[in-house]
Amino acid sequence: MAAKRKTPVKTRNPDLIRGVGKYSRSKMYHKRGLWAIKAKHGGDVKKPLLNKRKPKPTKLRASITPGTVLILLAGRFMGKRVVFLKQLTSGLLLVTGPFKINGVPLRRVNQSYVIATSTKVDISGVNVEKFDDKYFAKEVEKKKKKGEGEFFEAEKEDKKTLPDEKKEDQKTVDASLIKSIEGVVDLKAYLAARFSLKSGMKPHELVF
Amino acid sequence: PFKRYVEIGRVALVNYGKDYGKLVVIVDVVDQNRALVDAPDTVRSQMNFKRLTLTDIKIDINRVPKKKTLIDAMEKADVKNKWENSSWGRKLIVQKRRASLNDFDRFKLMLAKIKKAGIARQELAKLKKETAA
């Protein structure tokens, strides 16, 4: 710990308004005399300390527990009712349709774009250990050398097919889920249907 | 012209304020606008008549009874059951149930409504065929 000064240091750069100083970076360089300090110490100046702050993982809403049915509010699958599996280290929620029921694959979704219902599905038979953010990273494409002639041809396939391994993962996760879903009456049809606001529904009064 | 009167023992429904939806008994009248009101689960307090809607139910009590006497009188007159079996009381219960429905419950309700309508339509078609034949 550095010894505290008897008089606090007066700022050399007063604020014009919050966030805007009176002197520019180059003016401040001269004001602080960094040119002289550098000359004195042969080019080494004290650097400000590194910011080692790590952002905390997003806090999960209390209403979202593994097995909760969520309603997606945005994106390609908006309105779909979907089963929550776990929260990934990035804070995003890992979610699955199940795929056979409503076409939503294993997918990451942000907590803010989701309504949590109070309906829960039994998720004990599912092993979600192997899924993390790296699993969902985009495939790195190998760079091809630019060739004049190749520009005018469709050199890449239009659709990138999912690797079989991921399809298998989807099937194993969904197998036990679908069994527990079929145990509850009407739950399968519920997950297959999309949610929409109808006339007379007031979202602030609805219980989800 | 008037059937429900403000009197001691009149059961009323609170329609505004913290105790919204509760049934209370008028135990005394303070002045032209206010009544002293009491219920088994609330503290005895004054309430403006504008916050009350009178019901058909009346119980037999003296002016400002003790809590125990009030509760006994309510049991004797069977206020709770009378209220829950009245059409007004039943409507309120249904409203509360509908408001507390889950998203899944609303879905199941929709399926049930469609099924019921389907059955009714089938019967109607059958009857139409019989009269046409």
- Residues in B closer than 8 angstroms to A203, CB to CB, are none
| Average pLDDT over all residues of chain A | 85
CA distance B95 to chain A (A): 13
pLDDT at A157 over 60: no
pLDDT at A142 over 70: no
- Cα A30 → chain centroid: 43
**Nearest alpha-carbon partner for A95 in A63, A129, A72:** A72
Q: Cβ A208–B103 below 8 Å, yes or no?
A: yes
- Residues in B closer than 8 angstroms to A118, CB to CB, are 102-103
Rg (CA), chain B: 22
Cα A167 to Cα A106, A135, A162, A174: the distances in Å are 10, 13, 7, 11
pLDDT at A154 over 80: no
The model's pLDDT over A91-109, given as tens digits with 9 standing for 90+, comes to 899 999 899 999 999 999 9
Domain ranges of chain B: 1-100, 102-132
CA distance B119 to chain A (A): 19
- Cα A57 → chain centroid: 10
Q: Cβ B102–A207 below 8 Å, yes or no?
A: yes
Q: Cβ B99–A207 below 8 Å, yes or no?
A: yes
Write the residue in A186, A195, A205 that is nearest to B108 by C-beta: A186
Which pLDDT score, from 0 to 100, does residue B18 have?
92
Write the residue in A69, A71, A207 that is nearest to B101 by C-beta: A207
Which pLDDT score, from 0 to 100, does residue A164 have?
83
The model's pLDDT over B22-70, given as tens digits with 9 standing for 90+, comes to 999 999 999 999 999 999 999 999 999 999 999 999 999 999 999 999 9
Residue A166, both tokens? 């991921």
Q: A60-135+166-194 belongs to which CATH class? A: mainly beta
| Nearest residue of B to residue A120, measured between CA atoms | B104
Specify the pTM.
0.77
Write the residue in B100, B107, B111 that is nearest to A207 by C-beta: B100
- What mean pLDDT comes out for the span A153-167? 69
CA distance A186 to chain B (A): 7
The CATH number of domain B1-100 is 3.40.50.2000: no
CA distance B91 to chain A (A): 19
Mean pLDDT lowest for which of A49-53, A115-119, B114-118?
A: A49-53
Q: Place A13 in a pLDDT band, splitting at 50, 70 and 90.
A: confident
Which pLDDT score, from 0 to 100, does residue B30 have?
94
- Residues in B closer than 8 angstroms to A208, CB to CB, are 102-103
For residues B87 and B95, give the distance between their C-alpha atoms in angstroms, rounded to a whole number: 12
> Which stretches within A50-200 are classed as H helix?
99-102, 164-182, 187-192
- What mean pLDDT comes out for the span A15-27? 90
Highest mean pLDDT among A5-9, A135-139, A150-154, A204-208: A204-208
The model's pLDDT over A56-100, given as tens digits with 9 standing for 90+, comes to 778 999 999 999 999 999 999 999 999 999 999 888 999 998 999
